[in-house]
Amino acid sequence: MKFLGLAICLGIITGAVVTVGIHLFFDINSLVFVLGGATGFLVMKNDPEKHLANFGEGAVYFGWLGTLIGLISIAGDRFSAWGDVDKMGPALAVAMLTILYGYSIKLITIALAKDLKPVKE
């Protein structure tokens, strides 16, 4: 049932992405940032029984951190986008992609992770 639920969730996300325009949802730097951060978080937690769960949790953390870094870059006028409407929209969209990537990875890790049963004492 977990995989059916995952397929439904990913299907809804894919449907929305295709409707809006799939080209808007690809940014390699954002993906590398989230995957790299999730890997670092996994290594930092060092809990072999929860590798997938920790990877998903790290992906969400780094999704939010990536968005904050993107927003700071925009507000700090790093890319000369501040105040230029033609540049602000795409810059904000890229900044928010890391959140989408983080939560999408989290959904997948939830479906793939083993359900841990509480230990009876």
Whether the model clears a pTM of 0.75, i.e. scores above it, the answer is yes
Helix (H) or strand (E) holding 61: helix 51-75
The residue behind tokens 């997938």 is 52
Share of the chain above pLDDT 90, in %: 51
- The whole-number average pLDDT for the span 49-78 is 92
Q: Which of 31-35, 73-77, 117-121 has the lowest mean pLDDT?
A: 117-121
**DSSP at 10:** H
Helix (H) or strand (E) holding 108: helix 85-112
What pLDDT score does 24 carry? 86
What pLDDT score does 36 carry? 96
